[in-house]
Amino acid sequence: MNSKVKYDSWSITVDDLSYACDKWASALFFLGNGHAGIRNRLPLSSGLGLTERGIFIEGVFEYIRRGITDMVNLPDPFDLKLSAGGTILTSCSQLSLCSRSLDLRKGILTTVLAFGGREFRIEQFASHHDRNIAGIRVSTAAYPDVSIEDSFCADVANIPVSDDQKTSNEEVITLIKDAAVSCKGNGIMSLSFSTVCGTHSLTFTKKNRDYICDGTLIHESLVSFCGGDLSCADYEEERDKSAEALSSLWQRRDILLEGASISLQCALRFNIFQLIQNAPSCDISIGARGLTHGRYKGCYFWDTDVFLLPYYLLADRSVAEHLARYRIRNLDAARRVSASLNTRGARYPWMASLDGSEQCESWDTGKCEMHISADVAWALSRYDAAFDLAEDERMAIAEVYAETARFWLSRFTYSSERDCYDLIFVKGPDEYCGVTSNNAYTNHMAILNVCLALRACDEGLIRLEDGEREKFSDFIMKVKRPYSGRLGTILEDDNYLNLEDVDLSVLKESDKPLYWTYDYDTLQRLRVLKQPDVLLLYLMQPSLFTVQEAERAWDEYEARCAHDSTLSWPLHALIAYKLGKEEEAWKYLRKSLFLDLENLMQNTHSEGLHIGAMGASLEAVLYGMLGHAFSSDEKTDSSPQLPDDVSHVSYCFLEKGEFRHRRV
């Protein structure tokens, strides 16, 4: 592989000057602990734009206009001013050396910079022991012409990214107000500030210590994101406690590929590491880019329910609980979304922030991509099946099933002529389908959702309204199930066969998404998919397909898929595993594991890390390669399908809430 990254089994290094200074490296070397996230730009004093720093805290959103929030780009607690040979470092062009290396086992980032004839070594961590703490240490030979200054920078702003992938926004919005620094003596100072509408008032405390040891000038700084008392805190102690906490987490999270190349093993660990770094610490969800970037205004999508939660079900019960409870706690908000659209029950928003309100501003996606409500119900059913939940939590989940079922009944249109329920004006997971009718994925997921409500009622977890049981049963029987005799499998939607048949290999010559070349109006008229749709349905509900139908679905839809969503490669890997297509699975899995590491979609620099795709890649490993059952339709786990160069895989996973070790 002709790579910008040097791989070791537990670390990645970028030491080519131009790559290490690239924005892609700021994303790649992101440090986080689920509570706080730091996009790792270089310390260019006054050379950084207002929006470049990228410090985020879980759940810290602020209004940018009526009803719409953005994840706040917070003040930078480590505003370094490095000078050497009479110059201050303000631009990458001054650097003669820049090497960055991330130790995945310890969560420590080391950057070595040279300019003005001097070399600086910077070490950073976001604590996995105390999630409110992060630290930085800068060291350099103690020549008289070097200095290290470190303060806060509250001169930051947001640049809200449009929901429309093709529209770039230049407008900067300041979301921080009343920033005030106070010095408390002994190197301790604090920065207090609020977000513009007063939604959050925060204090960052910081403790700096400068000293010379054996001819080396050392600057150490610790920050507490909650204004905690750092007077007795010591940099090395905090760093080591964090490394220890992370190392012990790895004992249960590592997936060891015996015999695999170093780069592959490292890429797998990098993906796992990001799911550790972005796992929330409270009942909150994970944004499509986690805490690594403000893309999609930091919002939570179905990515969490379908592509992240299943990973945590096998890896970390407390994170799975946070994700599930975020949805349960936002049932009322989902009721309000539904009422605002004149439907009944609860409709989960396509893009949600902390309070569960709809944040998607585009009509076709926000109003029509509604499968998320059934995805949430599906995810909660997987959560319920994975753990022995208390009765009151099961009842709360049952309420979600019933309310989302009510939404579906009111959103489908009953045709008395055909005695059938149709879903019109809908967008499926394949977002190139335009606004269509009877998207098979959505219809079948809605049926499953209503079945879950009925089952919960049978179990005595919820009481349905009078006559509702009959209505639900009628709905389940009569929902339109698109099928093509000609294709011999489930049909994506009512429109699919009307679309222009095109040769995808002519349209798409590289991994660059088609939407950069063709308008969505063109794409929605072509028989080209953005990401799996019917094939995803096969993953969620395999019993809807015979073996032959699943094979035909693969032949029809995989060949036409442009993989223009980063979720597409890992999902095709997982689906290929389920169909026993090891070679294809492996081809897709390799691509997805290296997606950000090699910037394969060429948007990691501008969008941050693709956390949803990373979750899906780990699903491909655990539920595909290692054979765990993804859906409740799969009665038993299937046998592992290891690539040729991997002799064994060792890992831990949760079964009925208990960790088990397995070597296959």
> Among residues 32 and 77, whose Cβ is nearest to ligand IFM?
32
Q: List Cβ<8 Å contacts ≥24 apart for 6-11.
A: 7/262, 7/263, 7/266, 7/267, 8/262, 8/266, 9/262, 9/265, 9/266, 9/269, 10/103, 10/104, 10/105, 10/266, 10/269, 11/101, 11/102, 11/103, 11/104, 11/266
Closest CA to 83 of 54, 43, 126, 49: 43
Report the Cα–Cα distance between both ends of the chain, in Å, rounded. 28
> Among residues 191 and 616, whose Cβ is nearest to ligand IFM?
616
In 239-311, beta strands by DSSP E? 255-258
> Among residues 5 and 379, whose Cβ is nearest to ligand IFM?
379
Residue carrying structure tokens 């207002």? 50
DSSP letters for 33-71: -SSEEE------TTTS-TTSS-EEETT-EEEEETTEEEE
Tell me how far, at minimum, the Cβ of 475 lies from ligand IFM, in Å.
Answer: 26
> Among residues 121 and 512, whose Cβ is nearest to ligand IFM?
512
> Among residues 302 and 475, whose Cβ is nearest to ligand IFM?
302
Q: Greatest CA separation found in the chain?
A: 89
Query: d(Cα 280, Cα 57) in Å, to the nearest integer?
Result: 10
Structure tokens at 579: 């169909």
Tell me how far, at minimum, the Cβ of 422 lies from ligand IFM, in Å.
Answer: 23
Tell me how far, at minimum, the Cβ of 351 lies from ligand IFM, in Å.
Answer: 8
Query: d(Cα 149, Cα 142) in Å, to the nearest integer?
Result: 14
Q: 630-659: which residues touch ligand IFM (CB under 6 A)?
A: none
565 binds ligand IFM (CB under 6 A): yes
**Cα dihedral 25, 595, 620, 279 sign:** positive
> Among residues 302 and 326, whose Cβ is nearest to ligand IFM?
302
Tell me how far, at minimum, the Cβ of 167 lies from ligand IFM, in Å.
Answer: 14
> Among residues 124 and 285, whose Cβ is nearest to ligand IFM?
285
Query: d(Cα 504, Cα 517) in Å, to the nearest integer?
Result: 13
Give the ranges where 211-261 is alpha helix by DSSP (H): 235-253
Which residues, in sequence order, are CB contacts of 326 under 8 Å at separation 6+? 280, 283, 284, 285, 300
Tell me how far, at minimum, the Cβ of 56 lies from ligand IFM, in Å.
Answer: 17
Q: 252-291: which residues touch ligand IFM (CB under 6 A)?
A: 288
> Among residues 77 and 429, whose Cβ is nearest to ligand IFM?
429
Instruction: Show the binding pattern over residues 335-354: x = contacts ligand IFM (CB under 6 A), - = does not.
Output: --------------------
Structure tokens at 76: 């930078």
Tell me how far, at minimum, the Cβ of 277 lies from ligand IFM, in Å.
Answer: 18
Q: Which pairing describes strands 483-484 and 648-655: parallel, antiparallel, or unpaired?
A: unpaired
> Among residues 163 and 316, whose Cβ is nearest to ligand IFM?
163
Tell me how far, at minimum, the Cβ of 136 lies from ligand IFM, in Å.
Answer: 31
Residue carrying structure tokens 């100072």? 189
Q: 356 vs 327, 329, 332, 339, 352, CA distance in Å? A: 8, 9, 9, 14, 5
Structure tokens at 136: 């930085």
Q: 185-204: which residues touch ligand IFM (CB under 6 A)?
A: none
Tell me how far, at minimum, the Cβ of 134 lies from ligand IFM, in Å.
Answer: 27
Structure tokens at 629: 């059952």
> Among residues 431 and 494, whose Cβ is nearest to ligand IFM?
431
> Among residues 302 and 569, whose Cβ is nearest to ligand IFM?
302
> Among residues 206 and 371, whose Cβ is nearest to ligand IFM?
371
Tell me how far, at minimum, the Cβ of 432 lies from ligand IFM, in Å.
Answer: 11
Tell me how far, at minimum, the Cβ of 539 lies from ligand IFM, in Å.
Answer: 14
Kindly compute the dihedral angle of the four CA atoms of residues 150, 152, 157, 163, in this order, to the nearest 10 degrees: 80
Tell me how far, at minimum, the Cβ of 455 lies from ligand IFM, in Å.
Answer: 27
Tell me how far, at minimum, the Cβ of 565 lies from ligand IFM, in Å.
Answer: 4
Q: Per-residue b/e over 587-601, b at no fewer than 16 CB within 10 Å? A: ebbbbbbbbbbbbbb
Tell me how far, at minimum, the Cβ of 156 lies from ligand IFM, in Å.
Answer: 25
Q: 285-314: which residues touch ligand IFM (CB under 6 A)?
A: 288, 301-303
Instruction: Show the binding pattern over residues 416-435: x = contacts ligand IFM (CB under 6 A), - = does not.
Output: -------------x-x----
- Give SS3 for 349: coil
Residue with CB nearest ligand IFM?
288
> Among residues 429 and 482, whose Cβ is nearest to ligand IFM?
429
Query: d(Cα 535, Cα 575) in Å, to the nearest integer?
Result: 7
Residue type, 82: L
Which residues, in sequence order, are CB contacts of 84 under 8 Å at separation 6+? 115, 116, 117, 118, 120, 140, 143, 145, 146
Tell me how far, at minimum, the Cβ of 301 lies from ligand IFM, in Å.
Answer: 4
> Among residues 307 and 412, whose Cβ is nearest to ligand IFM?
307
DSSP letters for 473-508: HHHHHHB---EETTTTEE-S-TTGGGSBP--HHHH-
Tell me how far, at minimum, the Cβ of 598 lies from ligand IFM, in Å.
Answer: 19
Q: Name which position in 349, 570, 612, 615 contacts ligand IFM (CB under 6 A).
A: 612
Give the ranges where 459-602 is alpha helix by DSSP (H): 468-478, 504-507, 520-523, 534-540, 547-553, 568-578, 582-593
> Among residues 288 and 642, whose Cβ is nearest to ligand IFM?
288
The footprint of ligand IFM on this chain (CB under 6 A) covers a number of residues equal to 9
Query: d(Cα 374, Cα 381) in Å, to the nearest integer?
Result: 11
Closest CA to 378 of 467, 433, 447: 447
Instruction: Show the binding pattern over residues 429-468: x = contacts ligand IFM (CB under 6 A), - = does not.
Output: x-x-------------------------------------
CB–CB of 531/573 below 8 Å?
no
Tell me how far, at minimum, the Cβ of 288 lies from ligand IFM, in Å.
Answer: 4
> Among residues 190 and 565, whose Cβ is nearest to ligand IFM?
565
Q: Which residues of this protein are in contact with ligand IFM, per CB under 6 A?
A: 288, 301-303, 429, 431, 565, 567, 612
